[in-house]
Amino acid sequence: MLKGILTVGGWTMASRVLGFARDMLIAARLGAGPLADAFFVALQLPNLFRRLFGEGAFNAAFIPAFAGTLATQGPQAARDLAERAVELSRAAGVASPRAFTSLARACRQLGQLTAAERAAREAMEAARDAAEDLLVNALYEGARLASALGEVERAQDLLEEALPIAERLGGAALCQVLVLMAWFANSTGDPAATLQIAERALRLATNTSNPELMTNAHMVHAAAVCELGDFDKAIAHGRAALEIVRSWGDIVGEAEQLLNVGVVWHLRGDADGAADHYRHAEAYYRMCLDLSGRLGLRERQSTALCNLAQVRIRLGDPDSALALAGEALSLAVEISALNDCLAAILFHADALIAIGDISTGLSHIGGVRHHPAVGYLSQEIDRILARLDTIGPEQVEEHLARGAHLTIDDIVVQIHSAH
């Protein structure tokens, strides 16, 4: 700590001495006449932009305004604010990584993934010449977006680039990277690694007292203990996260946490088969769907619809599941959300099998199973196939092989034509 104080103090003193020397040289060269007045007036505008964008005044004013707008008015209002900030920074001849990162986040939540990707790329490019915390934020948002687009390898590459920088910075920067790393570890079926990362993230989040980080850390911790079978602890973490966002007035975060708590109940139902647990999950999913619809959170709507379809299958209502999965698929295709698109196809196929159209359902599963972005859905495919006891293993493989050549576009066309 003493070394840090001496370093900052030393450079500050050097800056003041050099500034004094600069003023002496200007006075000796220009004097105190109209030439000096013209010189100082000419410097006013560039100095203003330097103070706004180069010395942190812009970030200090923009970030609380963006966070408050996103939490209370939703992502569309937040996107409008971020776009104005981007325009202002461009007018000043400065690319603001913070404004581009915020724009990417708002667009992602609106399901406008093409616009989000463009903003994220600009954020990462601008941040490479900026402070390290800005680069970590840009890489984090880029990784989240890549994951939403089904580009898992690119997402992991961005996180690997962000991690050593975040380790140096510590605090909030490290916490957000660890949370996303924990989610990736959880999706690969490694609950022990997920729990280890999640516990570290939760300790950091508690120290920062940042509500958003605490919420995310609680939920990834819930996912980890859920995979280990401790559903009571998982539900406790989920409710803690929901309480934090509600106390903070973060309605966008509330929609996300409603979905996450629903997932915990959903997994508990998968573990013990209890219908009441599935009904708890359904209640949370429907609250999420309603709130997401009012806020225009299309990516969140798509995911909630997918999960609802799966719950209705578990509750013995495949007809409702078909309708919900079809609605989820249409929305996922519209917003180019590949993960949700694959999930909607899979749950639609599960419903087809439940109503007796085994051939079509298995061929669609065959198409999903061979997709490079199938990821965690391979576990759900195994669960669906394990429940299928009406035909033999050889027939199952035959139907799956028949769909292996189908592209996602082919399957989407088939489903939409059937509806």
The pLDDT value given to residue 9: 64
- Report H helices in 297-375: 298-314, 318-335, 338-354, 358-369
**Share of residues in the chain with pLDDT > 90 (%):** 35
Q: What are phi and psi of 13, to 5 degrees?
A: -65, -45
CA angle 79, 335, 384 (to 5 degrees): 130
**85 in Cβ contact with 97 (< 8 Å):** no
Burial of 386 (0-12, 13-18, 19+ CB in 10 A): exposed
Query: For the whole prediction, is pTM greater than 0.85?
Result: no
Q: Which domains does the chain have, with CATH numbers?
A: 54-63+73-169 (1.25.40.10), 310-419 (no CATH)
The full DSSP string for 170-185 is -HHHHHHHHHHHHHHH
Give 399's contacts (C-beta < 8 A, 6+ positions apart).
Answer: 358, 359, 362, 363, 366
Q: Give the residue ranges of the chain where pLDDT is below 70.
A: 1-11, 19, 23, 26, 29-33, 35-64, 66-67, 71, 92-94, 419
Task: Give the amino acid at 258.
Answer: L
Sequential DSSP letters for 67-87: HHHHHHH-HHHHHHHHHHHHH
pLDDT for 142? 92
Please count the CA atoms within 13 angstroms of the CA of 216 that sit on its side-chain side.
Answer: 22
